[in-house]
Each structure stands twice: as structure tokens, then as C-alpha cells.
Structure 1
Amino acid sequence: MSEKQEPSIWQGFKAFLMRGNVVDLAVAVVIGAAFTNIVNAVVKGIINPLVGAVGTQNLDHYSSCLSSSCKGDQGIQLMWGSVLGATLSFVITAAVVYFLMVLPMAKYLARMEARRKDREEKGPEATPEVIEVTELEVLKEIRNALVAQRGSGHDAR
């Protein structure tokens, strides 16, 4: 009796990497990183100046002091401006992803589902019949057509 050999670590790692979802995840991470630059530019170029019309353009300067004096590194400061900037960045990213990716894809999938249900309601006669023909069957048909053509127009030798 032969024992089944367990796959090596490298074979398992290769199988893991070749899965489709790993590649999809890698693409998503790269696109997400590139998209982060766009969102940061929007926040720094548009959102911060709008906020700066009321106060400062750099949200990192917004803070509150919890101790009696906050000079330099002295005292306890709450840097809520940084949190506000990160929150705005997140909201903008989520809105762009939703409106430019999720919503159009959901509408597309809903249309495809409606078409599928529509075809099912009309019955099998409404859907065109798909006939699978093998290569051998096609070659036999070509041969028969050539034999018939040779037999009808030419003398047999």
C-alpha cells in the first residue's frame, strides 16, 4: 500500500497564490493605495481650504487643551483636528466608492437579474436553444458535404 504524500509547503503556498481571490485582493490593495492619493489631494486642495475659510486650512492645528496651560509640549492637548481630517477623508472615500462603484454595479446586477427572470417567465421556447457540437461532428458534416458535392457534379473515378 502506498501512502499519500502530503503536498509540500511550497506547493501549498503556490496553490494559495494561484487562487483568484488572492489576485483580486492584491489588485484591490494597489488600487486602494492609488486612490488614497486622490482622496488626500481632494481633502488638502478643496476640503481644507473650505474649512480654512472659517479657521485654519490645516486641520491638524485644531486642538483643545485639557490642562491649565498648553505651551509647546507642556500640557494635555486633544488634537481633534487630525481626527476631523481623517474622518472627512474616510467619508469622501466611502462616498466615491459607493457612488462610482457599488451603486452602478448594484444597478447592473439588478438589470441582469430582471432579464433572467423575464426569460424564465417566457418559458424555454423564448430562450434560444444552445447546441453544443464537437469538433468531430463538425468535421463529419464537412466531409459529408464534400462527398455529396463531388458525387452530384463530378464523375466518380
Structure 2
Amino acid sequence: MSMLQEFKEFAIKGNVVDLAVGVIIGGAFGKIVDSVVGDLIMPLVGAVVGKLDFSNLFLVLGSVPPGTGTTLDALKKAGVPVFAYGSFITVAVNFAILAFIIFLMIKQINRLKKEAPAPVAEPAPVVTPEDVLLLREIRDSLKK
């Protein structure tokens, strides 16, 4: 079998197609979560903590050339090394929210997948020697 044929069989397998669809949907879902976090949740968290914008929290690790702005973007454009811990906080919050949303989705899917338990089959009756004797007595009494 040629390598091209093997690749074709691999690429058309359902698992590969499912994975591709999952990656595409995951990317779109990630943008939705980024918007929810950046536009809805982080402003609320910032308001509670003192109107902080976590994405602009940083420490300058090098010398700043004269005339360079003091914003994170300006420092990065100037090539100044910065420790952007605010960006990390934002990404960590994004991850926590995304993980929680996926947890809720999986929990709901599992709940919907649960089927009614199969009815339990009744155990076969156990016939003891005493039962056999009793049945014989009944049979014999009916014959009389």
C-alpha cells in the first residue's frame, strides 16, 4: 500500500474528521469565552478589587529608553523586557472559567446520556428436595 493511500485512509477516518471539527468549534468557543471573560467578568472583578485592569499589570525588568511610554504596549514595542503578570492573571482566569464551563457541559451531557436502568431480571426459582416431595404429595392427592 502506498504512503499516499495510507494517508488518504488516515485522513478520512471518522476520528480525524471529528478531531478537526472539535478543534474548529474549540477555537470559536475560545473566542466566546475570551469575550465573556474580557468584556463581562474581568470588569466586574476589577470593580470589586479597585477597578484594576489586570492586563496592564507588569514589572519593568530592564532600563527604559527616554521618550518611551509607560504602557505595556509601548514598553514591548520599545523592546524593554517586562514581567507581564497581569496578562497571566487574565489568561489564568480565562482558563478557570473555560474549564468550569466545560465541566458543566460534560456534566449535562452525561446526565442526558444516562438511560433508565435496565430492569433487573428476577432470579430463577430454586427448587429444593422438600419442594419436590410436596409437589408429589399434591399430585398424588389430586389423582385420588
User: Within 5 A, what are the aligned runs for 1:5-154?
Assistant: 7-53=1-47, 54-57=50-53, 59-65=54-60, 72=68, 73=75, 77-100=82-105, 102-109=106-113, 111-112=114-115, 115=117, 118-119=118-119, 121-122=120-121
Does structure 2 conserve the Cα–Cα contact (< 8 Å) formed by 1:65 and 1:75?
yes
Does structure 2 conserve the Cα–Cα contact (< 8 Å) formed by 1:66 and 1:76?
yes
Does structure 1 conserve the Cα–Cα contact (< 8 Å) formed by 2:56 and 2:84?
yes
The structure showing larger relative contact order (alpha-carbon pairs under 8 Å, at least 6 residues apart) is 2
Deviation of the 1:99 alpha carbon: 0.5
List gaps (5 residues or longer) in structure 1: 1-6, 124-157
Deviation of the 1:46 alpha carbon: 1.1
Does structure 1 conserve the Cα–Cα contact (< 8 Å) formed by 2:34 and 2:94?
yes
TM-score (norm 2): 0.63
How many pairs are equivalent? 109
Letter in 2 for 1:55: K
Moved over 3 A (4+): 64-67, 69-77
List gaps (5 residues or longer) in structure 2: 69-74, 123-144
- What's the % identity of the aligned pairs? 33
Distance 1:76 1:9, change over 3 A: closer
Distance 1:8 1:41, change over 3 A: same
Deviation of the 1:52 alpha carbon: 3.0
Please provide the CA RMSD for this pair. 2.5
TM-score (norm 1): 0.59
